[in-house]
Amino acid sequence: MALQQWATAAKAISAAAHAQGALKTAGVDELAVADAAAIQPWAPLLWGSNCRGRADRFRTLGWAPQVQGMEQSIGEMVKFEIEGTGATGVKATFDM
């Protein structure tokens, strides 16, 4: 699974949170631009922008990653957040 879009990342995070009991469902809701802007004025720019990062220049200098990628780390990151917020069962900071 390549996390090349925020929607893909959101679905993977939601699935991990659901699997770990922090969310009732693994579904991800869509939010209209106007509704997002009502929550956070910068939302259309922050949440709707493209954020691609690659290490091509570093690789040409001989660098190679030494740890697993984000795709493989999502479950661990979600577990860390759940433990940090004290979220248990279906009661979580993720639920609105």
Is the pLDDT higher at 95 or at 40?
A: 40
Q: How confident is the model at residue 96 (pLDDT cuts 50, 70, 90)?
A: very low
Looking at the chain, list the stretches that DSSP marks H as alpha helix, in order from N- to C-terminal side.
Answer: 6-19, 33-39, 43-48, 56-60, 70-85
Q: What is the pTM of this model?
A: 0.64
User: What Cα–Cα distance (Å) separates residue 30 from each residue in 6, 34, 68?
Assistant: 12, 12, 29
Dump pLDDT digits (tens) for 6-41.
788 889 999 999 999 988 999 998 888 899 899 889
